[in-house]
Amino acid sequence: MASSIVFFDIPSSLPDKAWSPNTWKIRYVLNFKGLSYKTVWLEGPEIEPKLREMGAAPTRNKPNGRPHYTLPLIHDLSTGVIIAELSRIAVYLDATYPYTPRLMPKDAVGFHFAFVDTALALLSPIWKYTIPASCAKLNPVSEAYFRPTREATFGVR
């Protein structure tokens, strides 16, 4: 069966390439739902130009107000939808592929969003410990791109 979903991920220097907990969640979701997909690897500096070229919406704005483009992102070729961010992707996949296992009960979507927001807020203090180790696993071009921005954002070296 041909892949109708293109999944965008960030490669690493690890043997299997995949490393990001955020993109691993989407990989798991696609596998759990039994949806076929093709992975396209984008190095850090390639993300924004590629997503802009595709017409993807930014995930959020940077502190300076400029659009911020992030992965994970999927492009569903069967519908033309391009969507980023774990929770939004999960809601989209449940609605678009109702014959596959549900990711969230229909009446718990709001709870899910609240839980994710709260969990991220509570976990944010640990990023300063995980960022340096994560950057060390990236390919050199992505490390040179991510390290300065993450160090500035999270106040780590």
Q: What is the CATH number of the domain that holds 134?
A: 3.40.30.10
Question: What is the DSSP secondary structure assignment for residue 138, as one 8-state letter?
Answer: B
Q: State which H helix or E strand residue 73 sits in.
A: strand 73-76
Q: Indicate whether 157 pLDDT > 70.
A: no
Q: What is the mean pLDDT of residues 88-112?
A: 89
Q: Indicate whether 58 pLDDT > 90.
A: yes
pTM here is 0.82
Q: For residue 21, which of 151, 155, 119 has the smallest C-alpha distance? A: 119
Alpha-carbon distance of 58 to 92, in angstroms, equals: 17
**129: containing domain:** 5-154
Q: What share of the chain is helix, strand, coil (3-state, %, to 5)?
A: 50, 15, 35
- Give me the pLDDT at residue 27, please: 95
Taken in order 45, 18, 70, 34, is the CA torsion positive or negative?
A: positive
* Count of the separate structural domains present in the chain: 1
144: CB partners within 8 A, 6+ apart = 44
What count of residues does the chain have?
A: 157
The string of pLDDT tens digits covering residues 29-51 is: 999 999 999 999 999 999 999 99
